[in-house]
Amino acid sequence: MKYLIFFCALIGSLLLYLLSRASDNTDLFSRNYYGLLALAGALALCLAVLVGYQLWKLRGKIRAGVFGAKLALRLALFFTLIAVLPGLLVYAVSVQFLGKSIESWFDVRVEKALEGGLNLGKSSLENGLKELGKKGQFVSLLLAEQAPEQHALTLGKLLDEGTAQEVALFGVGGNLLAFASGSSKLSPDMPDATMLREARRQGWYGMVDTLPDNSLVLRVLVPVNPQRLTQET
């Protein structure tokens, strides 16, 4: 039994040393995880055998009526409660604290990630609208220098060049003058009076529209200031 106690003390000292090293070197802990687990299991097994042997000896003394055996049993139970109950309490509190801390940390990280994703998406849409607005202003200058008969051909060329997926030219009252689309649509979505008014006031009007399939599309309305025409696109 003395050898078992010595063996337990040796394993315990070795585990404490490895624990101190692992705190500074996580690679050492990850490489020798199963070895440390085996040593901890061996230590737990040796301690269980040692405690079981002492309880078996105490049981024999109680049966033999040895003086002080029952008192030793009471003291053993008392010290067991003193050691186990506080440990269980600390363990339960620690588990709850860690669980709530991890949940709160996870919620904060997810909230920040979602907020960052939304801001990035919003910034991308705003930049896309500005870029499309610049293209629309270029198209308006191009159309302003052309005769009305050339507008449909020009819109088709712009569509082929990939400037936009859909290009339309509207009159002052909002009536459709020319239209080109890469899809099978026969007519564009008509702008309302508010859009036309904002385009005149600001120089261009942009919006992010949602299609029936929940996809997003950028729309830009730019007024044409022709030298010979009074039209808008």
Q: Report whether 156 contacts 134 (CB < 8 A).
A: no
The stretches of the chain forming alpha helices (DSSP H) are: 2-24, 26-31, 33-64, 69-144, 151-160, 193-202
Phi, psi of 217 (to 5 degrees): -140, 140
Predicted pLDDT of residue 23:
65
Three-class SS state of 71: helix
pLDDT of residue 229: 39
Q: What is the pLDDT of residues 182-196, one digit of tens each?
A: 776 767 778 878 887
Position 109 scores a pLDDT of 65
pLDDT over 50 (residue 142)? yes
Instruction: Share the mean pLDDT of the chain.
Output: 78
Please, which pLDDT band fits residue 10 given cuts at 50, 70 and 90? confident
CA distances from 208 to 128, 136, 200, 211, 214 (A): 10, 15, 19, 10, 12
Domain ranges of the chain: 126-232
Closest CA to 167 of 198, 136, 191, 193: 136
